[in-house]
Structure 1
Amino acid sequence: MEASKPPNSNTPVAVKVNGGGNASGGRPTSSPIKAQRHGLPHRSLAPPHCRRQRGCCCCCCCLSLTLLIGLVFLAAIAAGVFYVFYRPKRPSFSVSSLRLATLNISDTDLLTSSLNLSVTVRNRNQNIVFLYEDLTVSASSDGVAIGEGTIQGFAQGFDTSTVLKATVSSTGRRLDPAEASRLRKMNLYPLEIDVYTEASIKIGGFKSRSISVRASCDGIEAAVTEANATAAATTTGSARCKVKLRFDIWKWTI
């Protein structure tokens, strides 16, 4: 009986490969790039704690936005209640008298001016007190600044009018040649008066933060009067003043 021959080690062995698997018979693998290329879904590479942080950020943003909307809504309700109970009115300003004592331009375009005026401030509110800081008064003619002055601050009670006197002047200010030429040609000067200050509102024991108050008055014309002339010698025409209040919160202007 012949001994069985050992199998030839050089004889190739056929290995069946299913679906492009590897030679070891394991499940075929594919890279994320190939999966994307063939339209196959793959898991996010972001760690779980990063996804949790993004979720927390979204929750915080939503909560902050909700609180902000709530605060705006409450502020609107408070403003409405305040308006219904107090009916606030802005103060009114008017130029009650004016005298242009001096307006001289030298040959070297140096300006010397002096303007005496009275400004009437009225508080039209029944329950609101205005606490004014120092007022700055400036005057210009045809766009050329001709002087500036200051009025001391004051407190104004309910439904009262206060007359403020000021001297607006300029000494030795050099003008642009074109500005000096325009002023030299005038005998009757159109004037614009600007009053700027800051004021607080007081209601009972409550005192607000300072708000900006600006009054712009135009429609005024004046000629230079003699030294002994009175304020009645000037022409104020149809003088009118516009008052604007500016709040620092969101820079509201009314």
Structure 2
Amino acid sequence: MADRVHPIPAPPSRRSDHQPPPTGDANATAADATTSAPTETTPLQEQPPYPSFNQRPLSPPPGTYIVQIPKDQVLRVPPPDRARRYKKLAARPARRRLLRRACCFSLAAVLLLILLAAAFVGAVYLIFRPRSPTFSVSSLSIHGLDTLSSSSSSSSLSPELDAAVRADNGRNRRVIIDYRGGGSVTVSYAGERLATGPWPAFRQAARNVTVFAVAMRGNGVRLTEEQTKQLAAEQAAGDVPMVVEAVVPVRLRFGGTLLRTWTVDVKATCDVAVDRLAANATAVNRGCKVKVKPLWWWR
């Protein structure tokens, strides 16, 4: 059975925008059209011009060149002559990051250790409350200076002094003091050293008072004429000032535990006055000062 084909009416023609206005016969034709039956017509919308696929690409102007390089070679593969430098520059930021991290970790570890040590020292100080001992000179026996006169001021002297030193650890309730060997005691007059002797090594318990004897000897001591006259005048007045200095290595032990400090040097300076330069001289203490540089809180 054959298909029936119906003709499609032709679309109305579009009038050009620049078409001249109708004149003459055109007016008559328009009048005839108005007398005929009216018909509804809808103008076709203008379609955008479609690109032509047959157009050839524009050729570049003379003197202009276009070089096409694959993208992977531009971004990833450096030139062969700069490959080594590229690797060094690419690895430099990673090394810097590692170095910064290592420095930060090291600084944080050091700060943490300092904080822990400070907290430990603070806890020990609050628990035991360590205090420095007090010192005084109970007596001072002098030999070799009683025959001193202005006529013999140019001769050398060999004085001998025996002192009784009193060490008091009564302010510490739970702290034991170990006086190590190697300490010394010195007696001087007007800045001139007269004699020196060793400090004995012993352990002093908490709340303990210890009195011990120190033998000091001097050799080749020479006093100036002015010092000799001053010493004779002070002996006549019954007030001869002297300075007793002691430098002792000390270590602290806290209670019955194994906790102890490192060895530090304790320097004690005592001002003493005697009434005569003789064996039975009477010593009067005028005060002692104790200094411990590493343990500034130990007073």
TM-score (norm: length of structure 1): 0.70
In the alignment, which of 201, 204, 215 is matched to residue 268 of structure 2? 215
Structure richer in strand, relative to its length: 1
Q: Where do residues 147-158 of structure 1 align in structure 2 (5 Å cutoff)? A: 147-158=195-206
Q: Is the 8 A contact 1:244 1:253 kept in 2?
A: no
CA drift of 1:50 comes to 3.2
Q: How does 1:52-63 map to 2 (within 5 A)?
A: 52-63=94-105
* One-letter identity of the residue aligned with 2:227: L
Aligned counterparts of 1:213 and 1:119: Cα–Cα separation in 2:
15
How far apart in 1 are the matches of 2:172 and 2:219? 40
CA distance in 2, matches of 1:49, 1:111: 79
Report deviation, 1:15: 5.7
Tell me, yes or no, if structure 1 residue 241 matches structure 2 residue 288.
yes
Q: Identity of paired residues, percent?
A: 26
Is the counterpart of residue 172 in structure 1 residue 220 in structure 2? yes
Return the alpha-carbon distance in structure 2 between the equivalents of residues 108 and 225 of structure 1.
Answer: 19
Higher-Rg structure is: 2
- Residue 198 (1) aligns with residue 249 (2): yes
**Does the residue aligned with 1:155 lie in a helix, a strand or coil?**
strand
Structure 2: segments with no counterpart, 5+ residues: 1-60, 69-85, 235-239
Does residue 84 of the first structure (1) align with residue 126 of the second (2)?
A: yes
Q: 1:242 to 1:200 in 2, by over 3 A?
A: same
Check the 8 A contact 1:102/1:224 in 2, yes or no: no
Number of aligned residue pairs: 206
Query: Cα RMSD (Å) of the superposition?
Result: 2.9
CA contact (8 A) 1:215 1:241 kept: yes
Relative to structure 1, the CA distance from residue 88 to residue 97 in structure 2 (aligned partners, 3 Å threshold; closer, same or farther) is same
2:274–2:283 CA contact under 8 A, matched in 1 = yes
* 165, 169, 181: which one aligns with 2:225: 181
Cα distance between partner residues in 1 of 2:113 and 2:63: 73
Matched, 1:100 2:152: no
Tell me the CA shift for residue 154 of structure 1: 0.5
How much has 1:46 moved relative to structure 2? 6.2
- Structure 1 residues 107, 84: closer, same or farther in 2, change over 3 A? closer
The corresponding residue for 2:46 is none
Q: Following TM superposition, where does structure 1 have runs of at least 4 consecutive aligned residues deviating by more than 3 angstroms?
A: 14-17, 24-27, 104-109, 223-226, 251-254
CA distance in 2, matches of 1:61, 1:240: 52
Retained in 2: the 8 A contact 1:148–1:168?
yes
**SS class of match (1:47):** helix
The CA distance in 1 between the partners of 2:102 and 2:190, in whole Å, is 56
> Offset of 1:157 from its aligned partner?
0.7
Give the Cα–Cα distance (whole angstroms) in 1 for the partners of residues 244 and 297 of structure 2: 20
**Please, which moves more after superposition, 99-108 or 54-63?**
99-108
> Is 1:71 paired with 2:144?
no
Greater fraction helix: 2
User: Which AA in structure 1 matches 2:157?
Assistant: L
Gaps of 5+ in 1: 1-13, 18-23, 28-43
The two structures have a TM-score, normalised by structure 2, of 0.60
Task: Give distance in 2, aligned partners of 1:95 and 1:72.
Answer: 41
Letter of the 1:244 counterpart? K
